[in-house]
Structure 1
Amino acid sequence: MKTKWDKLIRLSKNQKKWMKICLPVLLLGCFYFLLTFSNVFTETYDIERFSNAKETIRSPITIENEKETESKRREAVQSVEDRFNVSSEITQERIGYVEELFEAIEILGEEHKTSENEEESIPLTSQEKIQQLQQLLSPDISDSLTTEELTKLVEASSHERALGKELLTTSLYDVLNEGVRSENVQAAKSSVNQKLRYSSLDETFKEALLAIARFAVVENSFYAADRTMEAEKQAINNVDPVMIRAGEVIVREGQTITNEVYEELALVGLLNEDRNIYPVIALSVLIILLSGIMIYEIGASAKIRDLDNGKLATIFIISILTVVIMKFVSIYTTPVNQLYLLVPAATGSMLLKILVHERLAIVFSFIYAIVGSIIFNSEITGSLNMEAFIYLLFTQIAGVIFLMSVKDRTAIVKAGAGILVINLLTILIFLLLSFEKYTVYDSLLLGGYGVAAAFLSSVLTIGMLPFFEASFGILSDTKLLALSSPNHPLLRKILTEAPGTYHHSVMVANISEASCEAIGANGLLARVAAYYHDLGKTLRPHYFIENQMGIKNPHDFIEPIQSAEIIISHPYDGAAMLKKHKLPKEIIDIAEQHHGSTLLKYFYFKAKETTNEINEEDFRYPGPKPRTKEAAIVSICDSVEAAVRSLKEPTKAKIDELINSIINDRLMDGQLNDSSLTFRELEVIQKSISETLNGIYHSRIQYPTEKEIKEAK
């Protein structure tokens, strides 16, 4: 029954914890949604055609103007000329006819006929040559030339025929190789005629050549449908889509809303209110995703370390302030004036690292950068400012990385110097990647923004840190370092009123810090808490053995139960004094829990020597048991240090045996049940304590006394 009840209690606690995390995150998500709503919601216009624009209207999206693209493609197709194939076969055929004619004439010029007495050969007459020529030539050419034209060719000299043949064939090649289409056959013939007429040949011979040219020039170029279609496709492919870019001016104030402008306004959705819902849905989904990441990370962090209401409020306020600063700067940011470079975004990440945890700071750096990329999108729907995202992310991560350990306020200034370098390098990347040519003045101005952002990040972090520490009681490293100062009134009180306790506390602090750092716990918290853990002993310092120097033990003169009451009261007296001086809750808890509910064995067994009617609970600390790893480690180190100091000759074997005995005793007594320490961590702690104590109580060389030196001589 008790186990079931415990499960219900744990379940109820878990539900409360998640409600405590989810509610602020959901409120933060709603705030982010409202803050970025104007960056995705597109204003629509009630505009009539041919009216004048009352303001300059820009496109909220990037979209293709398909109608204009199609128009340009039609123009490109219409500008493509028809493609033709030139038939080389026809060209060779027509040139072949011409060559055939001239070769036949040359052959006939060399032939002779035999005389009647058959004693001599007589050359053929022109008439005979023509008759034979008509028989030798192909019908195509013989039918195309008259007897007179053939006579002129035959009667011309061989030299003149050779020149005529060369000129004619050359002209024919030029014309036919270019291609002769049906519509320009006459033009091609005229071209050949022109070349022949301006030659130095005999006029009558030219007439014959012109007749041959009229025969030879025929159509040899024919329409190529496949080539024409391929050229048209290529022309279409060469036409780039007509795009309306996000941020592009569609119409300026005072200009007339033409049909073309009106269609573009309709295309980008500025006349359609229904389209506005889609960007809002996208923003809602993004905010839900970011909220889920925040809930998961805060919940995971709460499992590792306690996240009280103060830390949750700190996360909530830092997240609001960071984004509000971005929104304020975005009001004055333009595409020309890139003021997002001036945002001190690293302030949020550094405060989260100092006040909460490094992992949480890194995760929230990504979230702030994503939200910033929306805020700085110049209110262009559907776009994210990726330069702003990269810059904001780099500057925040730089703040987390360079803030290695906060020993004092100068650590934040040093982190600011690292942020400055990263900011300038990021801006340099943007300048080198940009196609725009920046002047020296523009480059220096952008660099100045980066320097100012780094400076503001450091100043705001230093200025806001005390506010969060004081307002929400958050124990940061800087506050712990301030509390560890020997000049603190409570530490001076321990030093002056209980010097033995002070020395004991310093030893416990050293051992506790080393042990915590060995397992990844907060070593600085353990050190500072150890300084104050025995503050209650200052009320009656002489009742504690470390302060009994040269006096008798007061416990020898009182009853064991009275001694037990005095000893048992010191953790709670110390916690009350710490509360009065408003020290952090974590230190008060460790002071109150460092003895848990352990038994005062010495006085318990001393009391049992006189009577058996002893209640063990009267000799036990009322608790609570250590509830954190740091409290458990301080508890163990407190007992170990006191026990080791009581050893007459502390050797490594004795120290290790004593440490093991004390840890086992605490385990068997259930004192570590609430601390979440694992057995593996206890092994590491045992080893760390051993190394530290053996370093303190190591063997030393026994130097001879002056008397021993004299005797040796």
Structure 2
Amino acid sequence: MSAGRESLIARGTRGTSGRIGREAAITLGLVVAVLVAGVLFPWFPGTASLEEGARAPWTLTAPRAISYDSMARTNEVRNEAANAVPDVLVLDPSVRDREIAELDREMAALQQVRSDSSLSPSGRETSVRALPMKLTAPAASAIVNASDERWSLIASDARAALGRVMSGTLRDTDLAAARQRATGFLSPTLAVTEVGAINELLAPLVVPTLVVDAQRTSALRSEARKGQPPVHVSHARGEVLVTEGQQLSAADLELLEHSGLLAVGIRTTDVIAAGVLALLVAAAVGGYVFVAQPTSLQSGSRQLLFVALIVVPALVTKVAFAYALPDLDRRFLVYALPLAAAPMLAAILLDTGLALLIAVLLPVIAAFIAAYLPLTQGDTTGGLEIARVLLGFGAASYAGVLTSARASRLHHYVLASAVAAVVELVALGVVWLIDANRSNWDPAWMAGAGLVSGVLTTAIVLVLFMVLRRRFGVVTRVELMELTQLSQPLLRRLQDEAPGTFQHSIVVGNLAERAAERIGADPLLVRIGAYYHDAGKLVAPPFFVENSGESNPHDTLDPLQSTRVILRHVTAGVEIAREAGLPEAVVDFIPQHHGTRLAVFFYRRAAADDAAVDPELFRYPGPRPQSREAALVMLADATEAAARASLDHSPERVREIVEAVIRERVEEGQFDQCSISLRDLRVVADSFAGMLNAIYHPRIEYPEPTARELATRRTARLDEPRVVGALAGGPATRPALPSPTAEMNEDTPNPPSDEE
């Protein structure tokens, strides 16, 4: 294209609004950052709760060298030293007086019962036994039946014996001997039953006369505590800290805390780490969206789906890892997690670039979760587990994306899930080969996990594919491939009712598809859009030149009436397409392939009669193309019609037609709302010119047949004319043949097509 023409195209595409701007990309990244940070917040369900007295869930080793002064162990040593200091005892004279006074109260109570004349002897015995001193039946009987003289002797001897026993220093260890001595202080004239009663009375009253001097004892124990230096604890990296099933003490919990395996509350470092990773994920998302400009994210619903395909799997991974890691029993259960389903769904419902981005981000997030799970740092196989997570999930996700991105049948998704599971198994096997703790049973468990992962991935992909494709307005390759079938009802109607339009649509599809491949647009969507872009012509096929016969229906209409018929094929096409159940992404091609252009042929005829006629009456309703795919169909539609209408199909003339069509639409601003670029338009022009030159390539002119050829024809089998006539339903005569030099050019008479 010339410099002038390039500048016109540049001016037409410089401010395209279909482009995802920097602010939109940053906003999307920040939304992802906030949600991912929430998922990675250091709170884990189902993790072991370690507290004093609990059992260690597994053997924990030091993740690094540890050295610190242990307050818990220091307190234990100091408590032991303090407890080794005996109590300081001093004589308390008041103890003797208190116990003698207590004996006097008991004697008075007994005397009151003895003096109660209203009670029978047995009643008095019962009352005595009910008193707080809890005497036995023999002792109660001896007291009740004793005469007043004997009772006076019993009381005086008991008081005297208690006073003598309690006069010295008594310790806890001296009480038994002191009670024996009290018996020796009793009068020998007392009966055995009377001595027994006195012993029962005195036994609880003989108590230590030495009491603890709390102040002096506390001072000595405090000095003993201070005399013990702090206990220093150190462990080398990899040294066992606690063994599985060990009951945890305060010192054990302190050791785990200093090693970083046990967080008291939420550690600030964990929150910072989660936040930084969330920002890195946001930078990857925002940067990719801004640089790659994926067309599949140009709607809010698609962006919501994209964010969900990152956040939801990350949340599920966190919950699953909290319950299944560390894998001490080597069951590899976490690898049954269908993490590859998310990038596969992105490849199916969005595009391959976004799917590969998710295939990178999710394994990284999963590896981070595996690394900072509580207590996993003390697992000696933690490094290999992180490698397994990163390599296994990463390889499975990548393989799932590559095999599902171009799937054209539902069973291809099943195959893609199987491939992802096999690749995951291979990746796990790679790490297994370098695992010093590997066992012969590991491959069986890995295969089981891979099988479950494949089944779950298949189920999730198929179910969500069926649920989400309509809700989010997503057109999948499976649906598009179904729409390419020429037996599709709407295409069949075009073949039968508007054959010229059908052939035109096929050629437009070929032109636009090739150009889409060259500029990186969606070639399959472009082809389908081209196939159905003129479905509205089914309302009145003869009014369009490619379907008209010898008569021209527009001859009886004025330009405005003709325009209404022509414009009707856009609105009617939308209605027909929706009634046929076409996806909205395909329906959008119908109003956008003319944009807001004028039906120029009829406008110019009307303007020739009335220069003041309003051009808006002849304008298509639009909108202008909203995507590069719609722009390609607009250009292919107009280019094919213009090239077909031209009598000159030389390469130079074809090139001029292509560039004129592009330049005209750029000048009208038809591409202002899509992201097609100047470079794209250059490539499109080259592609269209090459394709049209191939369609209208020159053919050689054959010489007239020789006399021998004519003679050979005359001597052909005599029954051939009859066969020909019978097949034609007429007389068995040889039909007239066209001249071999005749060209089969399409007649393009009266009304121009609406593409002009």
Q: TM-score, normalised by structure 2?
A: 0.62
| Separation of aligned partners in 1, 2:540 and 2:574 | 15
Q: Which residue of 1 aligns with 2:396?
A: 395
Is 1:369 equivalent to 2:363 in the alignment? Answer: yes
| Separation of aligned partners in 1, 2:50 and 2:271 | 14
Counterpart amino acid of residue 290 in structure 1: V
| Separation of aligned partners in 2, 1:329 and 1:41 | 11
Is 1:380 equivalent to 2:375 in the alignment? Answer: yes
CA shift, 1:649, in A, is: 5.7
Counterpart amino acid of residue 258 in structure 2: L
Map 1:697-708; keep pairs closer than 5 Å.
697-703=696-702
Map 1:119-130; keep pairs closer than 5 Å.
none
* Contact 2:515/2:632, CA 8 A, preserved across alignment: yes
Q: Which residue of 1 aligns with 2:269?
A: 278
Q: Which residue of 1 aligns with 2:528?
A: 528
* Contact 1:25/1:295, CA 8 A, preserved across alignment: no
Deviates more, 1:557-566 or 1:700-709: 700-709
| Separation of aligned partners in 2, 1:297 and 1:677 | 18
Q: Which residue of 2 aligns with 1:28?
A: 35
Q: Which residue of 1 aligns with 2:208?
A: none
Q: Which residue of 2 aligns with 1:110?
A: none
Q: 1:318 aligns with which of 291, 302, 309?
A: 309
* Contact 1:44/1:272, CA 8 A, preserved across alignment: no
Counterpart amino acid of residue 359 in structure 1: G
CA shift, 1:615, in A, is: 2.5
Q: Which residue of 1 aligns with 2:417?
A: 416
CA shift, 1:601, in A, is: 2.7
Deviates more, 1:687-696 or 1:673-682: 673-682
| Separation of aligned partners in 2, 1:605 and 1:265 | 88
Match of 2:313, SS?
helix
Is 1:427 equivalent to 2:428 in the alignment? Answer: yes
CA shift, 1:538, in A, is: 0.8
CA shift, 1:352, in A, is: 0.9
| Separation of aligned partners in 2, 1:677 and 1:708 | 60
Q: Structure 1 residues 525, 66: CA separation in 2 closer, same or farther (over 3 Å shift)?
A: same
CA shift, 1:637, in A, is: 0.8
Is 1:243 equivalent to 2:219 in the alignment? Answer: no
Q: Which residue of 2 aligns with 1:589?
A: 588
Q: Structure 1 residues 39, 323: CA separation in 2 closer, same or farther (over 3 Å shift)?
A: same
| Separation of aligned partners in 2, 1:607 and 1:597 | 19
| Separation of aligned partners in 2, 1:397 and 1:518 | 25
Residues 475-521 of structure 1, C-alpha deviations (whole Å, 9 max, x = no match): 22222222323333322332222121111111111111011111111
| Separation of aligned partners in 2, 1:659 and 1:292 | 41
Counterpart amino acid of residue 65 in structure 2: E
CA shift, 1:255, in A, is: 4.1
| Separation of aligned partners in 1, 2:577 and 2:250 | 79
* Contact 1:32/1:287, CA 8 A, preserved across alignment: no
| Separation of aligned partners in 1, 2:16 and 2:637 | 33
Q: Greater relative contact order (Cα 8 A, min sep 6): structure 1 or 2?
A: 2
Figure out how many residues of one structure are paired with residues of the other and give that number: 525
Match of 1:563, SS?
helix
Q: Structure 1 residues 56, 426: CA separation in 2 closer, same or farther (over 3 Å shift)?
A: closer
| Separation of aligned partners in 2, 1:262 and 1:600 | 83
Q: TM-score, normalised by structure 1?
A: 0.66
CA shift, 1:17, in A, is: 4.0
Q: Structure 1 residues 544, 708: CA separation in 2 closer, same or farther (over 3 Å shift)?
A: farther
Map 1:484-523; keep pairs closer than 5 Å.
484-523=484-523
Match of 2:242, SS?
strand
Counterpart amino acid of residue 341 in structure 2: T
| Separation of aligned partners in 2, 1:262 and 1:622 | 74
Counterpart amino acid of residue 698 in structure 1: H
CA shift, 1:526, in A, is: 1.0
Counterpart amino acid of residue 313 in structure 2: T
Counterpart amino acid of residue 391 in structure 1: G
* Contact 1:315/1:352, CA 8 A, preserved across alignment: yes
Is 1:290 equivalent to 2:281 in the alignment? Answer: yes
Counterpart amino acid of residue 28 in structure 2: I
Match of 2:487, SS?
coil
* Contact 2:61/2:241, CA 8 A, preserved across alignment: no
Is 1:687 equivalent to 2:714 in the alignment? Answer: no
Q: Structure 1 residues 282, 253: CA separation in 2 closer, same or farther (over 3 Å shift)?
A: same
Q: Which residue of 2 aligns with 1:341?
A: 335
Q: 1:38 aligns with which of 20, 26, 44?
A: 44
Q: Which residue of 2 aligns with 1:309?
A: 300
Q: Which residue of 1 aligns with 2:668?
A: 669
Q: Structure 1 residues 633, 272: CA separation in 2 closer, same or farther (over 3 Å shift)?
A: closer
CA shift, 1:295, in A, is: 3.8
* Contact 1:506/1:531, CA 8 A, preserved across alignment: yes
CA shift, 1:701, in A, is: 4.1
Please, what is the CA RMSD of the aligned residues?
A: 3.7
Residues 93-127 of structure 1, C-alpha deviations (whole Å, 9 max, x = no match): xxxxxxxxxxxxxxxxxxxxxxxxxxxxxxxxxxx
Match of 2:35, SS?
helix
Q: Which residue of 2 aligns with 1:460?
A: 460
Q: Which residue of 2 aligns with 1:121?
A: none
* Contact 1:427/1:447, CA 8 A, preserved across alignment: no
CA shift, 1:688, in A, is: 0.7
| Separation of aligned partners in 2, 1:417 and 1:313 | 28
Q: Which residue of 2 aligns with 1:438?
A: 439
- Percent identity of the aligned residues? 26
Q: Structure 1 residues 702, 605: CA separation in 2 closer, same or farther (over 3 Å shift)?
A: same
Q: Structure 1 residues 500, 59: CA separation in 2 closer, same or farther (over 3 Å shift)?
A: same
Q: Structure 1 residues 530, 8: CA separation in 2 closer, same or farther (over 3 Å shift)?
A: closer
More helix by share: 1
| Separation of aligned partners in 2, 1:651 and 1:677 | 28
Residues 102-153 of structure 1, C-alpha deviations (whole Å, 9 max, x = no match): xxxxxxxxxxxxxxxxxxxxxxxxxxxxxxxxxxxxxxxxxxxxxxxxxxxx
Q: Structure 1 residues 458, 702: CA separation in 2 closer, same or farther (over 3 Å shift)?
A: farther
Please list every run of 5 or more consecutive structure 1 residues that lacks an aligned counterpart in the other structure.
1-6, 69-240
Q: Structure 1 residues 496, 66: CA separation in 2 closer, same or farther (over 3 Å shift)?
A: same
Q: Structure 1 residues 697, 413: CA separation in 2 closer, same or farther (over 3 Å shift)?
A: farther
Q: Which residue of 1 aligns with 2:183?
A: none
